[in-house]
Amino acid sequence: MDKILIRGGKSLKGVVEPSGAKNSALPILAATLLAEGESCIRNIPRLRDIDTFTYLLKHLGAQVTYREVEAGSETQTPWGDHRDPERRSPLPLLYVVTDSVNNFEAPYDLVRTMRASVLVLGPLLARFGRARVSLPGGCAIGARPINLHLEGLKQLGAEITLQHGYVEAKAGRLKGTDIYLDLPTVTGTENIMMAATLAKGRTVLQNAAREPEVVDLAEALNKMGARISGAGTQTLEIEGVPHLTRLDHTIMPDRIETGTFLVAAAITNGDIVIKNCRPEDLSAVIAKLQEAGVSIDQPGPTSLRVKRDGEIKAVNVKTQPYPGFPTDMQAQIMALMCLAKGSSVITETIFENRFMHVLELLRMGAQIQITGNTAVVTGVPKLSGAPVMATDLRASASLVLAGLAAEGETLISRVYHLDRGYEQIEEKLSRLGADISRIKDKG
């Protein structure tokens, strides 16, 4: 298993660009199951989770091919010209053909490595009328049940039973209906929305998730001929249509990667510009960092400039569904609060076990007290580098951030957690001046 070695103390300077959003690419790849023909998904992030999902699509019988096109090149596709001289090169893209899908099972060994595999449930049911998907089981950050996904699909007319750890689902043509979600579940909203696009009649989904990735998916589905309105609000309306057509879509920039770079600049006394991002997706994070004394402004509509101006003040953070402060940024801002002046109260309201990074931060000299779903962080003058272990995706990001600021060397093990959601993180950070390298596992 690879490790990442960081020698802390370097201030980050320069320009960086986030990759496509993992949590938008995954449901949009699932959406290609809803239509025949060759779909093209652009700005795909090169991540383990994407590899896992493309493996799953191939397992179902789809054909998936990966290509790279030079940004700004005359990439004439059947759907028109795609040039963007501003984009980094090369631009990764995936072609997906699902005409040959002949298997409807997402097996346990795939689902347990990536719970987002459950996103094939809605599309398989809607297009093929059947699906057998392993229950994901828990993960490091919590139990993460999918009961709300299943409830919604049942209300659309699916017959669903649980047998031997699998969801067995079948349906004739689904029927639109009114659904109220007990919780604004992100992938639950996505699964039900995808299924409803091919249902007969209208579906109104109340208390829907409002995350930008849900909006990106709705935009992609509407490009395929779906009739979805209200994306980004808590009430989605989906008018069912008889069929959808192939998709050509560019994945939105990753807002959590962007937020991670904002913290990286702040924690290292840096001054960086993040380009080709979407500041409007990060209002809560930007407001919270500005409250902590970080200077953030917008040189342009798709860029952010972030620099550290003097000391970081301790601020309180409470994670909420979008547009509140995202749970996926909680571990990262905690790393910053470890070096803030004063005490910060961080409350995690979304997942029941998302403080795994705390034990590792304590080993680097942080002062953190956990009581239930609340962590009280008392800022210290410095952190010291240490060997630490990544436990989940965003926890590993917080260890990288702490290592960038710590005195001495930090050696992070089990970085496969990091590779699930951050593309070439050490290259991007070293281009900004960080002393960071990957130690390949000889095994």
**∠ CA 73-75-76 to the nearest 5 degrees?**
140
Stretch that binds ligand EPZ, among 105-113, 120-128, 137-145, 309-317 (CB under 6 A): 137-145
* The only residue of 3, 46, 144, 363 in contact with ligand EPZ, by rule CB under 6 A: 144
Stretch that binds ligand EPZ, among 22-30, 62-70, 120-128, 234-242 (CB under 6 A): 22-30
* The only residue of 61, 142, 157, 408 in contact with ligand EPZ, by rule CB under 6 A: 142
Report the distance separating Cα 15 and Cα 36, nearest Å. 40
* Three-state DSSP class for residue 12: coil
Structure tokens at 113: 């490595």
- Contact between 41 and 25 (Cβ < 8 Å): yes
Catalytic: which of 40, 139, 277, 338?
A: 139
Structure-token match 């992609």, residue found: 220
- Contact between 78 and 288 (Cβ < 8 Å): no
Taking residues 26 to 65 in sequence order and writing x for each that binds ligand EPZ by CB under 6 A, - otherwise, the string is: x---------------------------------------
Residues 181-240 that bind ligand EPZ (CB under 6 A): 183, 185-188
**Choice between 330 and 344, CB closer to ligand EPZ:** 330
- Contact between 193 and 238 (Cβ < 8 Å): yes
Sign, CA torsion 300/305/310/313: positive
Nearest to 6, CA basis, from 415, 436, 335: 436
Stretch that binds ligand EPZ, among 146-154, 225-233, 282-290, 377-385 (CB under 6 A): 146-154
Structure-token match 């007969």, residue found: 200
**Choice between 147 and 245, CB closer to ligand EPZ:** 147
Stretch that binds ligand EPZ, among 83-91, 178-186, 245-253, 378-386 (CB under 6 A): 178-186
**Choice between 141 and 289, CB closer to ligand EPZ:** 141
**Choice between 221 and 393, CB closer to ligand EPZ:** 393
**Least gap, CB of 228 to ligand EPZ (angstroms):** 18
**Choice between 43 and 185, CB closer to ligand EPZ:** 185
For residue 149, state whether it binds ligand EPZ (rule: CB under 6 A).
yes
Strand partners, 161: 168
**Choice between 283 and 367, CB closer to ligand EPZ:** 283
**Choice between 149 and 275, CB closer to ligand EPZ:** 149
Q: Per-residue DSSP letters for 176-188?
A: --EEE-SS--HHH
- 338 catalytic? Reply is no
Residues 103-122 that bind ligand EPZ (CB under 6 A): 116
Report the distance separating Cα 287 and Cα 294, nearest Å. 9
**Choice between 123 and 188, CB closer to ligand EPZ:** 188
Report the distance separating Cα 81 and Cα 168, nearest Å. 42
Residues 365-424 that bind ligand EPZ (CB under 6 A): 393-394, 421
How many residues appear in the chain?
443
**Least gap, CB of 180 to ligand EPZ (angstroms):** 13
Strand partners, 387: 411
* Three-state DSSP class for residue 237: strand
* The only residue of 328, 348, 360, 426 in contact with ligand EPZ, by rule CB under 6 A: 328
**Least gap, CB of 350 to ligand EPZ (angstroms):** 5
**Least gap, CB of 192 to ligand EPZ (angstroms):** 10
Number of C-beta neighbours around residue 254 at 10 A: 28
**Least gap, CB of 232 to ligand EPZ (angstroms):** 15
Structure tokens at 372: 């239930």
For residue 255, state whether it binds ligand EPZ (rule: CB under 6 A).
no
Number of residues that bind ligand EPZ (CB under 6 A): 24
* The only residue of 107, 145, 323, 365 in contact with ligand EPZ, by rule CB under 6 A: 145
Any idea what DSSP says for residue 173? S
Residues 331-350 that bind ligand EPZ (CB under 6 A): 350
Q: Per-residue DSSP letters for 243-306?
A: -B---EEEPPB-HHHHHHHHHHHHHTT-EEEE-S--GGGGHHHHHHHHHTTEEEEEEETTEEEE
Structure-token match 């008018």, residue found: 239
Report the distance separating Cα 101 and Cα 61, nearest Å. 4
Q: Under the rule (CB under 6 A), what is the footprint of ligand EPZ?
A: 22-23, 26, 116, 142-149, 183, 185-188, 327-328, 350-351, 393-394, 421
As annotated, the active-site residues are 139
